[in-house]
Structure formats: structure tokens, C-alpha cells
Chain A
Amino acid sequence: MAHHEIVIAGFGGQGLLFIGKVLAYAGLVEKRQLSWLPSYGPEMRGGTANCNVILSDDPVGSPIVQHPNVLIVMNTPSLDKYESAVVPGGKIFVDSTLISRKVARDDVDVYYVPATQMAKDMELKNLANMILLGTVIRETKCIKDETVEEALKHVIPARKMNLMDVNLKAIQAGKDYQP
């Protein structure tokens, strides 16, 4: 049974909730069971923020992810906070432009993606989040490749739909990335 408990964490403003929404809407399109839970409050304004997403074939119990099997981190405090919570055999995705240290555990799979640098080089402003998401989709298969575009249609506001192409480009860059 496919069951992904995902924590996405970093600074407010990095598009963490956006990653979560793409995953959640993809889950909706795929008619799966799911929940999406943001942290809320002052942390949204530049502090550490996080988003919990559960995608499952079974009804979702607690929407609060205690032991993620997928962790996506975009700053060092978030890696410090959640590294030990990941289940053995889980996958950790690190924006290695922003986090210089390595993951200390050896019982998890770790993917270092210099997403922020890649976004800068490719002139995909503020889309490091989507680059990471691309790698996450490739490595976890938590959502299907073909539902991503449909999910983005729900998440990108109608007046900004011209940004669809760059989002897809960023996701593809993450899928293609090899260290």
C-alpha cells in the first residue's frame, strides 16, 4: 500500500506550503486519501515554517506527521529539527545550496540537490521549491508524473497562469538532476 507521510520545512516564504499544495492537489486528482496541514502563526513571516502532507490509499488518521518517510528541508534549523524523526529507510531531500552540513544518519536515503543555485542559474526565480519537488517525485513516486500539471492548475492562481511553464520547467530540472 502506498503511504507517504511528508514533512516540508524551511523558512517562511520559500514556497513550502506551495510544494505541499501541489502534492495535495495531485492526490485529489488521483482520488487518493490525503491531508494537508500547514504551520500557522508568526512563523509564516520569515521564521521556520513547515507543512505536513499525507498521501495514502487508506483513510488518513492524524494529519500531524510524527514520523515522516519523506522529509524535504530548505534550511539548517529544519534539518536539525526533523532529521531524527524520519523513519528508518525514509528519504531526506536537502537543498544543498542552503544547507552546508550532511545528514548524520546512515539508515535513510539522502538526496542533496543544489536547488537554490540551480534556480538562480536557470533564471527560475523563487522556484527552488519546484526543483526539489521534481527530485522528490522521481525518487518517491508519491504522485504520478502525469497529474503534476493538473495539480498546478489548481494551485497557481488564475491571474498567474502564465507561470505554469516555468514551474513545469523547474520540476523537470529537479527530475533530471544528477549529482
Chain B
Amino acid sequence: MSETVLMKGNEAIAEAAILAGCRHYFGYPITPQTEVAAYMAKKMPKIGGTFLQAESEIAAINMVYGVASTGHPAMTSSSSPGISLKAEGISYLAGADLPALIINVQRGGPGLGGIQPSQSDYFLATRGPGHGDFHVLVFAPSSVQEMADLTGRALHLAWKYRMPAMLLADGTMGQMMEPVNLPEPSNAFGDDNPWAATGTEMKRPHNIITSLDLSPENLEKQNFERFERYKKIEESECLWEEYMMDDAEICIVACGITARVSRNAIVEARKQGIKVGMLRPITLWPFPKKALAAAAEKVNAFLCVEMNMGQMKEDVELAIRCKKPVELCSRVGGMIPTPDEVLEHIRKIAEGGKEA
């Protein structure tokens, strides 16, 4: 294991991407993720990689498309308004079946919004950020260690399944420092990618990389094939963590920073004799539907703790087929729920249960 170091979440993302073998970064500055670009600007030239500050977010994502087409891992990073701009490019990447890593360190919206942390891009990320029928892999780290670990995982799975992956963090996760053990350097991408546009040397037919297909029959077939792949991913790549769920009567569902806040509230509630636990989705797409459905068999109620108006709550209700009530504790606009607020919601649910 490597030496433990202290890093900001944004820096951990950048270093982990490099350690995972990514040598091409394209971006455009925006708070609160600028440290990713700053780190890349310092490091990439020293290791023979590319750092390029593009003229816009749209340019950056299309540069990623270009590099990915040649069979090399590439990434971009931004924050919420910038991700909206990248949506077209992400859809094209999905349509061309190209791997890419997109970092979204979320801030409050909509519009330009503010610069303080938020989770309000949940829908944008999990419904396929762009037009057309598609998904991207979505990872929600809740520690600086996970920022590092999931960055590497996202890159590798994007490659494995030839699709874009998004690391969905927020301003707090990006700005905070925690001890982290960086992963060992690896490079699983190889030089021989039969799908890549690397020059035929007149020895093989062209590889055509495009998202355009004017034949409805062909385009339908591609969509079907893509969703067959998505089905496999839903079966095998789902990640979540359970905390104090063994005897839980109330199940908190929270990811990222709100899972950290909820942890404090759970410890406090347990001291007061309330049996509450947490199911923390680590992948948001694929969503841990089966784990939630299993939890619905055991607990009396769910509580979603989110920094949006209840976007993940819809997925929880779908996953459990509305078998149990799902309550919401939420703050928005850059505000973060406090452990006391979460505890208050837990207490209300616990008291309501006794009355009923």
C-alpha cells in the first residue's frame, strides 16, 4: 500500500486518473472543481501527457471524443453549468460507443446558480446527460479515498463497456482534505484496440467512429445492443454500502456528502434508542435497486437525505415499488443539511411509527 497523504478531493481525482493511466485532460475552469485542472496543468507536461485548457466546455468534451476515438483514455472535468454544455458531446460519445471520464463537482443551480455544493445534477447524470436513449456510469464518492478509488474504477469500466462514465461529486467533497492512500499505477487500456481509429496501414477496413446512422433499422439495432450491455452492467457493476442496517427499522438513503452528515445523525439517533441505518448508493447508475428492495422487506420507512428537491427519492420509490413510505430531508441552493436536521426527520418518522 502506498504512503498515506493528505489531499483535497479534487486533487485526488486528478492524481488517481493519472495513476489509472489517463494522459489526456481537457477542461475549462469553473468553481468548485478548478483544482482538478490546476493539478493536471502542473503534472501532465512532466509525464508526457496532454493538458489543454479549451476555449469552452463544449470544445473540451469534443476533444475528449477525439482522443477516445484513437483508443486512448481521456477525461474532462467541470461543475454543473459546464456539464450542461457538455451534454451534447456526452450524447455523441454514447452514440459512438466511446469511453470517456467526465468529472462533475456539483454546485447549486439551476442556471449559473451559485458556487456552493449541491447534488441537484442527480437527474441529469442518471437519466443520461444529453439527448437520446442512453446511460452513463455514475459514481458518487463520499470520501477523498473514494474520490481516488472511484476515479480509477470509472475509467476502467468506461473502457470495458465503451461508454462514458461520470464521477458525480460536490463542492464539499472537492474542497475538503482527508488522508488518502493512492492506488498503484496501472494501465489497462493497451495499444491494440480493434475499434479505434489508428490508421489502417492499408491492412484492414476503416474503423468508422460516428453517432450518425440514417437507417432506422440499423439505429434501432444499435440502441437494442447498447441496452443489452446496460442490462449486464446493472447486473454486475452496482455498488453500495450498508451502515448499521442489521436491525434497522428506518433506512436512510444518501450518497456523497449527505451520507457523511447522515452518519453523524445515525450515531446520535442510536444513542436515543432509534433503530436507524443507512444504505448508501455508491453507483447511482446502475442504481442499487435490488438492495433497496431487500431493505424494504425489513424496514418500516425510508428517509432520503439529499441536496436537491428529492430527485433520488423517486428512484428509491421505484426500486421499492412504493412498498414503504419514503420521506425526504433536503436542503438546496448550496446549503447542506446538518446532522441535527437529519436527526429531527429520523425522530419524526420514529414517533409517527409508534402512533400508528
Which residues of A pack against B, CB within 8 Å?
21, 24-25, 28, 31, 33-38, 40-41, 60-64, 66, 154
Question: Is B267 within 8 A of A37, CB to CB?
Answer: no
Instruction: List chain B residues, Cβ under 8 A from A28.
Output: 4-6, 179
In the assembled complex, the CB of A1 is this many whole angstroms from the nearest CB of chain B, namely: 13
The DSSP consensus for interface residues of chain B is mixed
Question: Is B176 within 8 A of A36, CB to CB?
Answer: yes
Q: List 10 A-B contacts (CB under 8 A).
A: A24-B177, A31-B4, A37-B176, A40-B31, A40-B175, A62-B261, A63-B178, A63-B260, A64-B338, A154-B6
The yes or no answer to B115 lying at the interface (CB within 8 A) is yes
In the assembled complex, the CB of B145 is this many whole angstroms from the nearest CB of chain A, namely: 11
Q: Contacts A36-B177, A40-B175 given; indicate if A61 touches B6 (C-beta within 8 A).
A: no
Instruction: List chain A residues, Cβ under 8 A from B178.
Output: 34-36, 60, 63
Q: Residues of B within 8 Å of A, CB-based: how many? A: 24
Question: Is B116 within 8 A of A35, CB to CB?
Answer: no
Q: B1-35, CB under 8 A of A: which get 1 and which 0?
A: 00011100000000000000000000000011000
Q: How far is the CA of A86 from the CA of B6 in the complex (A)?
A: 27
Question: Is B177 within 8 A of A62, CB to CB?
Answer: no
Q: B262-302, CB under 8 A of A: which get 1 and which 0?
A: 01100100000000000000000000000000000000000
The DSSP consensus for interface residues of chain A is mixed
In the assembled complex, the CB of A50 is this many whole angstroms from the nearest CB of chain B, namely: 12
Instruction: List chain B residues, Cβ under 8 A from A36.
Output: 6, 176-178
Question: Is B6 within 8 A of A41, CB to CB?
Answer: no
Q: How far is the CA of A79 from the CA of B22 in the complex (A)?
A: 46
Q: Contacts A28-B4, A62-B261 given; indicate if A41 touches B115 (C-beta within 8 A).
A: yes
Q: How far is the CA of A24 from the CA of B176 in the complex (A)?
A: 11
Q: B101-118, CB under 8 A of A: which get 1 and which 0?
A: 000000000000001100
Instruction: List chain A residues, Cβ under 8 A from B116.
Output: 41
Question: Is A63 within 8 A of B6, CB to CB?
Answer: no
Instruction: List chain A residues, Cβ under 8 A from B179.
Output: 28, 33-34
Question: Is B339 within 8 A of A37, CB to CB?
Answer: no
